[in-house]
Amino acid sequence: MACRILLHLSSLSRFQEKFIRPRGMTQQGMAEELGINRALASKELKRLTEGGRVKSELKHVIGTKRQKKTYFLTNLGERLAAELKQIAAGEATEGREGGVGGRPDGVRVLARKQATDR
């Protein structure tokens, strides 16, 4: 799930410096867009924040009256998201040979790498 959140936030990185941010940068917005419940999004975002991959700050969000906590990638998070994109691009051209449970090996290796970095 952390990989999906990193990729999701990576797709919204152009809004990081904006005064008003899209709903997809909030916990609830991420949960809705990724099809997960908010509690899981909160748990994963906490882990990613503690690991130095994600930061948060209060910002205005499109469609809300008050500021909300929004999330964005740190430099480490951006590098990991770029690695994930490269792995996904390689898997798309090479197929999913060797994957376990429908998940490409590269994603499994990166997830293992993230776990050992903690």
The structural domains of the chain, with segments of one domain joined by +, span: 2-117
DSSP 25-87: GSHHHHHHHHT--HHHHHHHHHHHHHTTSEEEEEEEETT-SS-EEEEEE-HHHHHHHHHHHHH
pLDDT tens-digit map of 12-52: 999 988 889 999 999 999 999 999 999 999 999 999 999 99
Q: To which residue do tokens 């130095």 refer? A: 52
Is the separation of the CB atoms in 45 and 27 below 8 Å?
Answer: yes
Is the separation of the CB atoms in 72 and 13 below 8 Å?
Answer: yes
pLDDT confidence bin for 108, thresholds 50/70/90: low
DSSP helix/strand/coil, 100: strand
pTM score, whole prediction: 0.73
pLDDT confidence bin for 100, thresholds 50/70/90: very low
Give pLDDT, residue 101.
Answer: 41
- Kind and range of the H or E run holding 113: helix 105-117
Indicate if the pLDDT at residue 103 is higher than 50. no
Question: pLDDT over 90 for what percent of the chain?
Answer: 67
Q: What is the CATH number of domain 2-117?
A: 1.10.10.10
CA-based torsion, 106, 112, 116, 118: positive or negative: positive
